[in-house]
């Protein structure tokens, strides 16, 4: 008579090796991608920024301040405003020519530095940091952002005051 051996099947155990590998990779990714840099910019005295509870790290950018009286690029007054509004001719054109011209010059300088290899791998300074008064008309803000877009800046950051 032939005897059969009965195998008892054990349920498979929990595979911790793959799980630990995954957590290690995630941990390394988070450590490498964490940035602890500080960017300080000067707030225009006639400007009241909106408030927010969110926060993020500021990277170097072209500062564009829109107050009820003027538009400034890096603290240099470019265009006068009348109670937060541009002249009607700019609304008809859909852009502000002098702002486009100044921002194109800045954009070209940034791209030249990039081509010369003077920028870091993860650095993209072709960003406009917009400091806009919280009481500003949306049409005014749209006109400025449209002008920046025409000049070649496709990334924007809106400055706010932390609550």
Domain membership of residue 37 (yes or no) is no
pLDDT score at 55: 58
pLDDT score at 160: 66
Domain membership of residue 92 (yes or no) is yes
15-33 mean pLDDT = 84
The encoded tokens of residue 54 equal: 């969110």
Domain membership of residue 72 (yes or no) is yes
pLDDT band, residue 83 (cuts 50/70/90): confident
Q: Which residues on adjacent β-strands are paired with residue 158?
A: 130
Number of domains the chain is built from: 1
Q: Which residues on adjacent β-strands are paired with residue 121?
A: none
Q: How far is CA 40 from the centre of its chain?
A: 15
Place of tokens 């010369």: 116
Domain membership of residue 59 (yes or no) is yes
103-110 mean pLDDT = 86
pLDDT in tens, 111-154: 887 777 766 655 666 788 888 877 888 888 888 888 888 888 88
Place of tokens 């969110």: 54
Domain membership of residue 5 (yes or no) is no
Domain membership of residue 145 (yes or no) is yes
Domain membership of residue 116 (yes or no) is yes
What range defines the domain where residue 92 resides? 51-162
Strands (E), 20-154: 51-52, 62-66, 70-73, 76-80, 127-132
- Cα distance between the two ends of the chain: 86
The percentage of residues in the chain with a pLDDT greater than 70, rounded to a whole number, is: 72
The residue among 46 and 39 whose pLDDT is bigger is 46
Q: How far apart are CA 29 and CA 86, in angstroms?
A: 46
**Averaged pLDDT score across all residues of the chain:** 76
The pTM of the full predicted model, rounded to 2 decimals, is 0.59
Domain membership of residue 33 (yes or no) is no
Q: How far apart are CA 151 and CA 144, in angstroms?
A: 11
pLDDT of 59 higher than 80: no
């Amino acid at each position: 008579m032939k005897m059969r051996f009965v195998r008892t099947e054990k349920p498979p155990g929990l595979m911790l090796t793959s799980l630990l590998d995954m957590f290690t990779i995630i941990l390394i990714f988070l450590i490498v991608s964490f940035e602890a840099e500080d960017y300080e910019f000067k707030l225009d005295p006639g400007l009241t920024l909106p408030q927010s509870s969110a926060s993020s790290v500021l990277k170097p950018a072209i500062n564009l301040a829109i107050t009820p009286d003027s538009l400034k690029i890096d603290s240099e007054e470019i265009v006068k405003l009348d109670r937060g509004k541009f002249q009607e001719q700019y609304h008809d054109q859909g852009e502000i020519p002098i702002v486009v011209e100044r921002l194109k010059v800045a954009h070209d300088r940034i791209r030249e530095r990039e081509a010369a290899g003077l920028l870091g791998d993860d650095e993209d300074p072709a960003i406009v940091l917009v400091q806009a008064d919280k009481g500003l008309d949306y049409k005014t803000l749209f006109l400025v952002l449209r002008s920046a877009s025409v000049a070649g800046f496709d990334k924007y950051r809106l400055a706010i005051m932390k609550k």
